[in-house]
């Protein structure tokens, strides 16, 4: 886990910290080639400069977000926003199904929309994989 992500998790309430640590460890283990950094104030993992997965603390939960999640074959994520993102929300570490998370992470590697160039394309997304 990157130091900035560890610091982010350490600042969370204990129950949320446990969720964040599990998410970060699982993401790191299954996307070892991804770059992890704090982006827009929360941990995000990038493949070739393109954001693929991250999480953030919301008022009542920790939200796991996959930027291309609406295009995944694996069910369980809910549509988020007006682009291709999808999310899962957790209030307890026991809600995190790590087997499902691992399948989502595999999908994140293999199914990507080009968020890196969304501004240059004036809000239009292009499928990369």
Containing H/E element for 106? Answer: helix 98-110
> What is the reported pLDDT for 23?
98
Identify the band that residue 94 occupies on the pLDDT scale cut at 50, 70 and 90.
Answer: very high
Mean pLDDT of 78-107: 94
pLDDT at 99 over 90: yes
Q: Which two tokens stand for residue 8?
A: 């982010």
Q: Mind listing the pLDDT tens digit for each residue in 9-67?
A: 999 999 999 999 999 999 999 999 999 999 999 999 999 899 999 999 999 999 999 99
- Specify the residue for token string 């982010």: 8
Task: Provide the residue ranges of all domains of the chain, joining segments of one domain with +.
Answer: 3-110
Spatial separation of the C-alpha atoms in residues 105 and 29, rounded to whole Å: 10
> What is the reported pLDDT for 111?
84
> What is the reported pLDDT for 112?
76
Identify the band that residue 74 occupies on the pLDDT scale cut at 50, 70 and 90.
Answer: confident
Q: Mind listing the pLDDT tens digit for each residue in 101-113?
A: 999 999 999 987 6
Specify whether the CB–CB gap between 93 and 23 falls below 8 A: no
CATH of 3-110 among 3.65.10.10, 3.40.50.300, 3.30.70.580, 3.90.1150.200? 3.90.1150.200
């Amino acid at each position: 886990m990157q130091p900035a992500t560890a610091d982010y998790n350490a600042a969370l309430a204990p129950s949320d910290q446990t969720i964040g640590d599990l998410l970060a460890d699982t993401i790191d283990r299954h996307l070892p080639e991804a770059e992890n950094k704090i982006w827009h104030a929360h941990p995000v993992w990038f493949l070739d400069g393109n954001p693929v997965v991250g999480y953030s603390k919301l008022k009542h939960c920790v939200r796991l977000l996959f930027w291309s999640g609406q295009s995944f074959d694996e069910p369980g994520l809910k549509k988020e926003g007006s682009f291709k993102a999808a999310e899962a929300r957790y209030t307890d570490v026991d809600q995190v199904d790590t087997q499902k998370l691992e399948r989502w992470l595999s999908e994140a590697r293999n199914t990507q929309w080009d968020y890196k160039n969304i501004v240059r394309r004036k809000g239009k997304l292009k499928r990369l994989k």
